[in-house]
Structure 1
Amino acid sequence: MRVSYFRAAFIDLAVLFLFTFIFPAHAVLPNKTLVYCSEGIPAGFDPAQFTTSVEYTVSAFTVHNRLVEFKRGSTEIGPGLAAHWDISPDGLRYTFYLRRDVKFHTTSYFRPTREFNADDVLFTFERMRNPNHPFRKAYPAPVPYFVNLGLDKEITKIEKLDLYTVRFTLKSANAPFLTNLGLAFASILSAEYADQLLKAGKASNINWWPVGTGPFVFRSYTKETEAEDALIRFDSNSKYWRPQDVQVSSLIFKIVPDAAERVRKLRRNECQIMSYPRPADFAAIEADPKLELLSQPGLNLSYLAYNVLHPPLDNVLVRRALDMAINKKAIIKATFRGREGAAQVASAPIPPALWSHDETLKDELFDLEKAKALLAEAGYPKGFTISLWTLPVQRPYNPNPRLTAEIIQADWAKIGVRAKIVTHSWGKYIKDGHDGEHDAMLIGWTGNIDPDDWFGVTLTCDAMSGLNYSKWCYPPFDALIKGARQTNDIEKRAAFYQEAQRIFNRELPFTPILHATAYQPINKNVTGFKINPLSATVFTGVSLK
């Protein structure tokens, strides 16, 4: 079946035409500064390199755009830098017709001489796809999300048909391909800027001095001092191709790792939006007449990954024993301070809201005696010692990582397993987790509505060097995930994923712990803000009264 999006493109262009009269091409923006209190120091600004919302918020959805984009506050895909597209009847060729008159940012370190075109799309994806690409060789940064989804093998050819038309050819039909192009890693970079960096011998600057087409232009990053928070400053893009999305003149990120301090700054109006509140602060936020606590069901999962390459975690009986000895209800009650509806026990590697979730699979009950028996059967009647890594910063799916680790540590001690709690800085935690330095590791995932973004990214062999923190590679499981990608029949895809869940339930490479409600505190002077179900905070369309 041939799929075309001319109608959507026409509506999009009509809206843009109308706003041209409201916002001129070089819009005079309201003199308003929006301040966001963020929880973590970014490891860089190159979206292809990273897998977490810290970098996606500060870069992908602030500085950049993608060929297709999720509509604000939803998981629905719409036009982005591609105004419309065609998909061949066999599902192997995607032809994108690019938007014209889109300008790259002009900064103190780069002045573009041309507008966005097909060369930028080719550079963005060839750099990720081809290890021998000149820029990749000059700056051999990892591209974990792209690889985890198998796109390095799936995309066989990218062609520039003309200056504003690009065609992707795939090895096999790939049902989630279009959705995947809306994810942060697929943010379009400037080929002209990359050439400038390459000639200057400064290719790595692409990670610290970003250039995009997005609603905000990077200005500066001031590191933390004893007296001041780290600050990241952006100017609004007055030449943005979707002018209605830019409603303030500047955007500032304050890096404030302590959640209680973020709340204090929000209450003093030192920031107007903050990330990840502690449940302990919910009541105070709700009681403050100047603040509002937004919430919606989260597409997330908190889990404990077992590194199956480290004995005795290579033994499924050991993994089942450890799983059975974790009191998930106690974790939810303690970390969410008994707030009703804040979280629910997880029993599968995907949230119940996803269309292929198998409701027949039940979570193993908390049972210490049965866990002891399984350890004895596995040959460890007296237990063993392992490391238990815990997140250095709170996440929406884990508001108190240290307490979560301490509860698990105490539970495991009752079956003879001695867990040494370990933590690192955020960047080292993720890097060393990718490298498999841990035994057991608390982590989580927030994905989109397509199950492939869960199974394919966290559990396949392709993802072992990236987000598969369990280092679990099981070919029968992989075959199911690939089979699901290669059909557009929703019932067949669901059957593949449900069988994959049964394998997961039997092999248990990680323990699903909980799914959490997403909370976002804002100042009531903020207008137009929507919680992003895909975890990163998005500032398009946001203003201040």
Structure 2
Amino acid sequence: MNKWMYPLLVAVLIVFISGCSSKANKDTKSKDEKKALVIAYDRDAETLNHIKTSDYHNALTYIFDKLVSRDNDFNFHPGLAEKWETSEDGLKWTFYLKKNVTFHDGSKLTAHDVKWTIDTIKDPETASPAQSEFEPIKEIVVEDDHTLSILLDKPYPNLLFRLSSTAAGIISKDAYEKCGDEYGSKYAIGTGPYKLKEWIKGDKIVLEKNPDYEWGPEWMENNGKPLIGEIVMKMIPEENLRMMELEAGNVHIVRDLTPTMMGSIEKNADIEIFTGGAPRLGYLAFPTDKEPFNDVKVRRALNHAINKKEIIDHVFRGHAEVAHGYLPPILKEEYYEGSEKDGYEYNVEKAKQLLKEAGYGDGLTLNLAAENASNYGRLAEVLQAQLLEVGIKTDIQLYESSSYTDMLKEGKQELFLRMYGWQNADILDWFLSSKQFPFPNHSRWQDQKTDDLIQAAEQVPTWEERVKGYHEVQKYLIEQAVWVPIYIPSNSIAVRKEVQNFKFDPIAPDYNDGVYME
């Protein structure tokens, strides 16, 4: 994850009116367009070319539309595709595009742009981080300008999720080729409700509303036609400064609040805190291919040793939930309901007994690694005390984000803390299948049964069968104690009263869903 010092020497990148720029807005500025929504972020984007990155900045959500849209409850709806059909064998999906959709440069969206976008991601020479996500697609056939068929070798019921993800934002082929290396920094041209106005690296990303936007999803208010004239995504790395700017009214929204941040503003009448579930999960992990972690008894002992309720109360001040399994419950269908029943209760004596049976009755001395952030540091300290109660001594090692990732890639980890955020069960494939070894499979879990269960779940004909398959995956991972699931953090957002009709979303709020400035 890239971190930016603040402030940095910046280069102003302004979108000029050219063949590679957004179409000029010739309409007279309305009252709404004069009001900017300012959102504070702790870090900058890596790039606004989502083909080239897996670090998807929120700006991409508003610049690029997808074939399929998802509502706040993760249900699928038409996006750029007004409808789709699936063959009986599940190997052919036909999508019918909405007509009269235009890119920000004024060119018309066609099925050729959709095919080019996905084919480019799939091309090994592109080296897109999202390549594997579209691997099940055998071929895309353009039937006509507004119809395309996606052909598969095997049934893939997760296709709609892939086509609704940020990685699948549809790009203008002509604009991408014309802009060359400047695409993603100076230019980013989609069909979304907002256009890139400027990106001052290390400072802010400014988006302006797309006045031509008439093709938003039906589940949004007014079909997603934006009311806010500009969105300013301001980079403010310092937590205290973000809160000061919020209280002063210079910033309207601060996301990902920590318990400390929430405590500083919860009595401010000008600010409302929205809190809800999030598709995130925090856990303790270890290299399962190395001693002592290659012994399931040691892994189970670690699970019994952790008092999760104490962590929720003292580290997160109640702003989190206990995690029992490997997916967060907000993924309603895919979450395995038997996670708590099959999981591990806090039991010091049972943990000690399992360590003794594994040959470590005299205890262990291990390193405990975490990123150098406030919550991770406090969590590591609490875990250190809890593990000591069962005879495991730990030395805490804190890392900056980039060096932490390097350490995991090099296989130097023992005990380490991680958190993921994702809206689909395939995150288990990403972190725990053998094909992802040694990274992002940082637990170094290479297990044939896990691979077989995941592959079976991914290749069944229907979504319902896929859900059942992933329930089996989770049940088996709990049995094998591959991780110690600890907490599911609350997703909290601070919103100033000037922002009206705000709707909480567990991933990224849709500021074009009827939101306006007072």
8 Å contact from structure 2 (residues 39, 233) kept in 1: yes
For residue 101 of structure 2, give the secondary structure of its aligned residue in structure 1.
coil
Q: Cα–Cα, structure 1 residues 162 and 303, in superposed 2: closer, same or farther, change >3 Å? A: same
| Match among 508, 517, 530 for residue 481 of structure 2 | 508
Equivalent in 142, 160, 173 of residue 129 of structure 2: 142
* CA shift in 2, pair 1:536/1:430, >3 Å: farther
Aligned to 2:9: none
Structure 1 residue 207, shift from structure 2 partner: 6.3
Q: Secondary structure at the match of 2:392?
A: coil
User: CA separation of 1:472/1:64 partners in 2, compared to 1, >3 Å: closer, same or farther?
Assistant: same
Equivalence for 1:216: 194
Secondary structure of the structure 2 residue equivalent to 1:120: helix
Code of the aligned partner of 2:256 = Y
User: CA–CA distance in 2 between the matches of 1:27 and 1:480?
Assistant: 58
Identity of aligned residues (%): 26
Change (3 A) 1:466 1:234: farther
Equivalent position of 2:115 in the other structure? 122
Aligned counterpart, 1:345:
322
With over 3 angstroms needed to count, the CA separation of the structure-2 counterparts of 1:219 and 1:494, relative to structure 1, is: closer
Look up the match of 1:42.
45
Letter of the structure 2 residue corresponding to residue 275 of structure 1: R
Q: Which runs of 5+ in 1 are unaligned?
A: 1-23, 107-111, 225-229, 395-399
- Whether contact under 8 Å (2:186, 2:198) holds in the other structure is no
* Secondary structure of the structure 1 residue equivalent to 2:387: helix
**Correspondences of 1:188-337 after superposition (within 5 Å):** 188-198=170-180, 202=181, 205-206=183-184, 209-224=187-202, 230-242=203-215, 244-337=224-317
Matched, 1:165 2:162: no
Structure 1 length normalisation: TM-score? 0.79
Match of 2:392 in 1: 416
Change (3 A) 1:305 1:41: farther
Q: 1:390 is paired with a residue of what secondary structure?
A: strand
How far apart, CA to CA, are the structure 2 residues paired with 1:81 and 1:206?
21
For 2:422, which of 441, 444, 447 is the aligned residue? 447
What displacement does 1:92 show? 0.9
Shift of 1:523: 0.6
Count of residue pairs brought into register by the alignment: 480
Q: Distance in 1 between matches of 2:414 and 2:44?
A: 25
Residues in 2 aligned to 1:462 and 1:538: alpha-carbon distance in whole angstroms: 35
**Residue aligning to 2:156:** 174
Q: Determine the structure 1 residue equivalent to 2:62.
A: 62
Gaps of 5+ in 2: 1-24, 217-223
Which amino acid letter does the alignment assign opposite residue 397 of structure 2?
A: I
Equivalent runs, 1:3-14 vs 2, <5 Å: none
Give the 3 Å change call, closer, same or farther, for CA 165–509 of structure 1 in structure 2: same
Letter in 2 for 1:421: Q
Q: In 1, Cα distance between the equivalents of 2:439 and 2:140?
A: 24
Q: CA deviation at 1:323?
A: 2.5
Measured after TM superposition, the shift of residue 217 of structure 1 is: 2.0
Separation in structure 2 between the aligned mates of residue 358 and residue 517 of structure 1, nearest angstrom:
20
**Which residue, 337, 348, 353 being the options, matches 1:358?**
337
Contact kept in structure 1, 2:98 and 2:215, CA below 8 Å: no
TM-superposed deviation, 1:347: 1.1
Question: Cα RMSD over matched residues?
Answer: 3.0
Q: CA deviation at 1:428?
A: 5.4
**AA at the equivalent of 2:394:** R
Deviation of the 1:193 alpha carbon: 2.8
The amino acid that maps onto 1:300 is R
Contact map agreement 2:342 2:479 (CA 8 A) in 1: no
Is the 8 Å Cα contact of residues 49 and 185 (structure 1) preserved in structure 2?
no
Q: In 1, Cα distance between the equivalents of 2:53 and 2:291?
A: 29
Question: Among residues 124, 131, 134, which one is paired with 2:124 in the alignment?
Answer: 131
TM-score by length of 2: 0.83
Distance of 1:85 and 1:511 partners within structure 2: 41
- Note the C-alpha offset of 1:213: 1.9
Q: How far apart, CA to CA, are the structure 2 residues paired with 1:447 and 1:190?
A: 27
Distance verdict in 2 for CA 1:218–1:309, change over 3 Å:
farther
Give how far 1:444 is off: 2.2
1:475 and 2:462 correspond:
no
Distance in 1 between residues matched to 2:468 and 2:128, nearest whole Å:
37
Distance 1:273 1:382 in 2: 52
Residue 226 of structure 2 aligns to which amino acid in structure 1? V
Any idea what the Cα deviations from partners look like across 1:283-341, whole Å, max 9, x if unmatched? 5433211111112233332222323344433333332233322221121111222x3xx
User: Distance between the aligned counterparts of 2:128 and 2:461, measured in 1?
Assistant: 33
Paired letter, 2:35: K
Shift of 1:166: 1.7
Q: Could you say if the C-alpha distance between residues 44 and 237 of structure 1 is closer, same or farther in structure 2, counting changes exceeding 3 Å?
A: same
Conserved? CA contact 2:193–2:225, under 8 Å = yes
| AA at the equivalent of 1:460 | S
Q: Distance in 1 between matches of 2:246 and 2:516?
A: 16
Secondary structure at the aligned position of 1:348 is classed as coil
Q: Distance in 2 between matches of 1:432 and 1:43?
A: 21
Shift of 1:492: 4.1
* 2:432 match: 459
What does the per-residue CA deviation read over 1:90-144, in whole Å, with 9 as the maximum and x for residues that have no partner? 11111111223323234xxxxx6x3222222122212222214xxx1xxx3433x
Change (3 A) 1:157 1:424: same
Note closer, same or farther for the CA distance 1:131–1:240 as it changes in structure 2 (3 Å cut): same
List structure 1 runs of 4+ shifted beyond 6 angstroms: none
Cα distance in structure 2, aligned partners of 1:236 and 1:324 = 52
**SS of equivalent to 1:361:** helix
Residue 172 (structure 1) shift: 1.4
What is the CA–CA distance in structure 1 between the aligned matches of 2:175 and 2:366, rounded to whole Å?
47
Residue number in structure 2 paired with 1:85: 84
* C-alpha distance in structure 1 between counterparts of 2:26 and 2:380, whole Å: 53
Amino acid at match of 2:68: V
- 2:367–2:415 CA contact under 8 A, matched in 1: yes
Distance 2:349 2:484 in 1: 18
